[in-house]
Amino acid sequence: MRTCSSHLYSNGGVSSFHKNHSSPLNNHLKLSGALFPIKTKRPSRVLVTFAVHFRPCIDIHKGKVKQIVGSTLSDLKEDGSVLVTNFESDKSTEEYARMYKEDGLTGGHVIMLGADPLSQAAALGALHAYPGGLQVGGGISSENCLSYIEEGASHVIVTSHVFNNGKLDLERLKDLVKIVGKQRLILDVSCREKDGRRYAIVTDRWQKFSDVLLDEKSLEFLGGFADEFLVHGVDVEGKKLGIDEELVALLGNYSPIPVTYAGGVTVMEDVERIKEAGKGGVDVTVGSALDILVVIYLTKMLLLGITSNKNSSALH
């Protein structure tokens, strides 16, 4: 059973979550005005009954933590289009990583939106601040994947290296498995609608369609090589349009391994839609470049399906 936080422990189908009241996340809440009043006389323990797992995220662009509309990214803006940035944080990647570590959130991902030295250095900073607690993606290949594991990444996230020139390069995929192992490999199978009816995996900053359709057959096959899938609904990602329910349903029905969805989450009703459409089997991520209070708020609200024990008033 997958649970609402990677710091939740399965216990006969019901999971428990131990809240660290002295964490930087909670300290920030106290300084900024808590969205959820927290009494700190004693640690609290709450019971969780629904299985959507929140995955934190650190998106990096030119060394800064940002939330960018991914479909506006490209190597060169020769067509005069404009990179759309929703938010740029004044916090470092290390600060985000330490907050996630202190709050017991694992399974989050660090994504380099560009292979520039500043972004690479920022990614390594996050991995060093939270060794073993974060996944890393962006420019990962057979040549550098092991180095990121050695720097502290729990997993490497790969797209363009495997879906090369619009096609699945099976030899590259097998090579990655040989180097880091299936248990440390995440396949980013982010996709866009093609011909108005099917989802095709996209690569190269989501600018290029591959010839690989995301469906029951491809999910089953690719799941044999990876520990997890990461899937951005590119058509809605960063645009505050709501989630792609059809895509979430596809993932919930057919993914044979853990899968995390990103894209269009704007209000808590969107999280509920992910829970329902994904049949409780699709995890959710929201870019950490959003104000940290928003991320904390989402994390807390993901626990709305909680039954709190009578001795705890942490969420009241």
- Give the whole-angstrom CA distance, residue 312 versus residue 309: 6
Local confidence pLDDT in tens for the 316 residues of the chain: 333 333 322 222 222 233 454 554 444 433 333 323 323 333 333 333 346 788 888 989 889 988 765 545 554 444 434 666 667 788 999 999 998 898 888 899 999 987 799 999 999 999 999 999 999 999 999 999 999 999 999 999 999 999 998 999 999 999 999 999 999 999 999 999 988 779 999 988 778 899 999 999 999 999 999 999 999 999 887 666 789 999 999 999 999 999 999 988 877 788 889 999 999 999 998 753 355 445 555 555 554 443 233 332 222 2
- What pTM was estimated for this model as a whole? 0.76
At position 70, the amino acid (one-letter code) is G
- Give the whole-angstrom CA distance, residue 283 versus residue 211: 26
Which is nearest to 262 in space by CA: 227, 280, 294, 238? 238
**Bridge partners (DSSP) listed for residue 285:** 55
In angstroms, the Cα distances linking 139 to 166, 224, 228, 232 are 16, 22, 18, 17
